[in-house]
A and B are shown apart, each in its own frame.
Chain A
Amino acid sequence: MMTFDSATLLQLAIVLPLAGAIAVRLTGGSPNVREAMSLLTSAALCFICYNLYQDFDPQVETKIVLLEILPNLNLSFHIEPLGLLFALMSSFLWFITTIYAIGYMRAHHEENQTRFYQFFAITMATVMGIAFSANLFTLYIFYELLTLSTYPLVTHAGTKNAKRGGRTYLAILFSTSILFLLLAILNTWLLQGSLEFTPGGLLNESSSSMTAIAVLLPLFIFGIGKAAIFPFHRWLPAAMVAPTPVSAMLHAVAVVKGGVFSILKICVYIFGIDLLSALPTTEFLLYLAGISVFFASLVAMRQDNLKKRLAYSTVSQLGYVTIGALLATNMGIIGGAMHMAIHGFGKITLFFCAGAIMVVTHKTQVSQLVGIGRQMPITMTAFLIASLSIIGLPPTAGTWSKWFLMQGSVDTQQWALMVILGISSLMNIFYLLPIALKAFYPPQEEQPQEVKSQKYEAPLPILIAIVVCTAFCFLLFLFPQPLYELAAQIVNMPGTGQGL
């Protein structure tokens, strides 16, 4: 077996999913071969990302400059801890989602499955591009490509609703990225003459006025519409028209995580923690993220449609990661990065369960789920565990990320934020826990609805996916060290001058 060096593996990580997309297209005629292609590609990508993680050495800078698109603006990639974290998480979850999708799409008799798997693979290529981007220019390119490659997935159903959802999706994501993000990138380019992600931050006070830099921060935060910060969050519930595997992967893991990942990366490598804490606009944005967390939780409590409830829950949870980034302390960054991964596992499990419920019982509303625990015990148990992780209670992984985020807000004496985080956890309990509890212990007044179908539990591939992800909610609680260490390395990169 040939050993590849990190640079080659890096390029392979981006090219492989594209090759997979072509393979899927070519084998579209025979569904089993086609599915095998998806599985093979995603497994290979996991393997590559894992190797990159094993070989990662903070002292050695691995960077590839692919080509120069504009004078002094390169398409280039590098390996650093945050990107590795994101890549590891997404590639693994792509593999799991592919298993899930096989079960779901077939049980649901979905059309255009080749198109679905094909664009899934292309999306993963763009996600890898975002994860490993070495400068803002590359990040922007793959960010826009991600919007475009997920559009066919969001509008998969091809119905009027799908079209409308797709319009909202595209409108909000393009408006924010073209009006704000591109403007922010151009301004950074003009202020600093470079767009490279630098440990310790690219911008510094000496090169340009604090006002100019202070204006850049909100432009970046609002420009990254994929992080669903209020008021640019409406695309997320609108995108729930997509089939559940799409919602699960993209809107709990790839698209929204791409958004908060970009925010984290920009906060750490463009602004730098020190500069961030000194900017006048950071606090305002911090409170805006807090408002986002609070109101999204509020709206989630009122949603009866399960997927919509989960979507608003995601908006709220993404606010946590943004808060972590903007707290501008080591704990905040670590908490934010860990929450990115841990929330991914928890949320994807919840969406998987929602899809399983839909496939087996055709039920989509929370009110219909009373007493369903008897029919689908495994699914609802998983739902319960994943809910605990989202809420942040032991023995699930969510405990750790919540802990670090709370720690971060104590460090910076942001008491209002602490209160918001606490209240939000309470609200999480209110809108998540009853679903699982009522499924198993239907209250006397609400009799279980008629069991419509004779089916008992979801198809096997779906169950495998659900169980694996639930297991991770436990595993990451018991063994958080690898995740913690990787996240800690973000703030410990040579050149940062920070210590833990």
Chain B
Amino acid sequence: MTEQLAILQVVIPLLAAPLCLIISRASLVWAFTLLTNTLCFVISVLLLNQVLDHGPIHYALGGWRAPIGVEYRIDHLGAYMLLIVSSISWVILLAGKTSLAAELKEKKQSLFYVIYLLCLAGMLGIIATGDAFNVFIFIEIAALASYTMIAMGKDRRALTASLSYLLVGTIGATFILLGIGLLYMATGTLNMHDLSERLANLHDSRTVVTAFAFFTVGVCLKLALFPLHWWLPNAYAFAPSVASAFLAATATKVAIYILLRFVFTIFGMEFSFSVLPLQNILLALGLVGILTASTMAIYQQNVKQLLAYSSVAQIAYMMLSLGMNNPNGLIATLLHLFNHALMKGALFLALAAVMYRIGSVQLKHFHGLGKQMPFTMAALVVGGLSLIGVPLTVGFISKWYMLTASLDNGWWPITVIILVGSLLAVVYVWRIVEAAYFKPAPADAKPVKEAPLSLLIPIWMLTLANLYFGIDSRLTVTVSELAAKSLLGGAL
């Protein structure tokens, strides 16, 4: 059984998805989805243990050996990402039943879970696979599923948001495909490990450079690196709350994973950073992204859009750290993959609770919520403090490594800009705090009760995780260091 874990990780949700159609009642479908997700989570834990004990796992699909057959390759980074995606997805699903019941009709809920499982399968597949074209297939599966999930939102603007995401996402995926195709043309193979060996000699080839260019632009569209981010705020704002939480916590992280995999494993660090100006691009776009997105977050009235712009800024942070081209920077990016997933997962779930109770996430409707929904607002405050990077939260750990990385390079101005980003975060987080705690509820508003336990428990699971991993960071730091080491080829 344990040898098949790698493929089971992807196959279980993939097969479970259509099975949902057989069950008709929404609560049963939810239970089934939760069960599937539990299995995925268990498998990801087992895989991480296996990788920590024995090193990277190679699994040949159908017994066909690489490089002809499709290979699944799970190393430290992959196992870490699988754990992140499956665990956060599980917690978010816990909140799913109550939240979705308020936002979707009964029939649509079952369909939602089908799409959710497909999206999950797609993302897990992206991470687990060791074949370049297989990655593209799973990218498309995950993407199409996310477009559908977003389109199911209650608000009519969900359709246009989904459509613009679809257009942008398809362009991105096509660019990625073009990149992969050009790589195939240059090397004759699609297996990632094989590609890395053959590409080592092809640094001068124009085909390879073009492949890199197409691939990078494509993946940057997917991960919403400024200025290719404009699809994200609307997509997160108008999707069903559970979908927003899930996508905010996982989709862009998986896209960053793809970037890391291609840049470090396939193209190789030397090519990407020394031969091509990837470092400058990441630094420049990262810096501008942090400042611009944080500033735009300050002016948003819809709290989901506020947090979406905040996500764009956090992604820019991760790209900036990557652009520092030193071990601490890479560790910072990897740490932030996990930490940001925790932060945004908690924040968007808290918003799901607000949406559930008052049916809106506009700042002007938050008045008086500090008193009426104390636990939900407290979770929002803790998540906000994590975004700012206050010590004892998970955000501080990432910030510390980013700042150390930039000081390692001796880049004072960039260090200051990272800190200014934190200050901008104080401003937009405090807008939410002030709206919730300082203005009394309007006299004609209906009294609002605290969110039900079925929502509060998942919210606080993620919020407490934010605090726990901010205090005991051993697990995340060790795994990130190992993953960084394996990406850098042991040269730390």
Which residues of A come within 8 Å of B, CB atoms? 67-71, 140-141, 144-145, 148, 155, 158, 162-163, 167, 170-171, 174-175, 178-179, 182-183, 186-187, 189-190
Contact = CB atoms under 8 A, between A and B. Distances in A.
B434 A163 contact: yes
Interface in B378-407: 385, 388-392, 397, 400, 403-404, 407
Contact of B391 (A144, A171, A183, A187): A144
A189 B470 CA distance: 19
A144 B395 CA distance: 14
A174 B423 contact: yes
Contact of B390 (A71, A148, A183, A186): A148
A140 to B, nearest CB: 6
B416 interface: yes
Nearest to A174: B426
Q: Nearest 5 A-B pairs (CB), nearest first?
A: A141-B391, A163-B438, A179-B419, A178-B422, A178-B419
A120 B397 CA distance: 28
Contact of B419 (A68, A158, A182): A182
Given A69-B473, A178-B422, 9 more contacts: A67-B472, A140-B391, A141-B391, A145-B391, A162-B438, A178-B389, A179-B420, A186-B407, A187-B407
Contacts of A162: 438
Contacts of A187: 407
B19 interface: no
Identify the interface centre among B388, B391, B400: most chain A CB within 10 Å of its CB: B391
A70 B407 contact: no
Contacts of B404: 186, 189-190
B383 to A, nearest CB: 14
B471 A70 contact: no
B408 interface: yes
A190 B407 contact: yes
B477 interface: yes
Identify the interface centre among A144, A145, A148, A189: most chain B CB within 10 Å of its CB: A144
Contacts of B477: 70-71
A155 B473 CA distance: 33
B429 to A, nearest CB: 10
B415 interface: yes
A148 B378 CA distance: 13
Contacts of A67: 471-472
- Chain B residues touching A, majority SS: helix
B430 interface: yes
Nearest to B420: A179
B472 A178 contact: no
A378 B474 CA distance: 58
Contacts of B390: 144-145, 148
B100 to A, nearest CB: 34
Given A70-B400, A141-B391, A186-B404, A179 B423 contact: yes
Contact of B438 (A71, A158, A170, A179): A158
5 contacts: A67-B471, A70-B400, A71-B477, A158-B438, A163-B434
A70 B397 CA distance: 8
A162 B388 CA distance: 22
Given A69-B473, A70-B477, A186-B404, A170 B426 contact: yes
Given A148-B385, A186-B407, A187-B407, A69 B423 contact: no
B482 to A, nearest CB: 13
Contacts of A178: 389, 419, 422-423
Contacts of A179: 416, 419-420, 423
Contacts of B397: 69-70
Contacts of B430: 167, 170
Nearest to A68: B474
A183 B415 contact: yes
A182 B423 contact: no
Contacts of B400: 70, 186
A158 B473 CA distance: 37
Nearest to A182: B419
B16 to A, nearest CB: 39
A124 B81 CA distance: 41
Contacts of B474: 68
Interface string B461-473: 0000000001111
A148 B390 CA distance: 10
Contacts of A170: 426, 430
A183 B438 contact: no
Contacts of B422: 178
Contact of B392 (A71, A145, A182, A183): A145
A163 B437 CA distance: 10
B418 to A, nearest CB: 10
Given A144-B391, A174-B423, A70 B416 contact: no
A186 B408 CA distance: 10
A140 B391 CA distance: 8
Nearest to A162: B438
A167 B407 CA distance: 30
Identify the interface centre among A141, A158, A174, A175: most chain B CB within 10 Å of its CB: A174
B423 A70 contact: no
A183 B414 CA distance: 12
Nearest to A75: B471
Contacts of B415: 183, 186
Contacts of B434: 163
Contacts of B392: 69, 141, 145
A189 B391 CA distance: 16
A456 B385 CA distance: 47
A148 B392 CA distance: 12
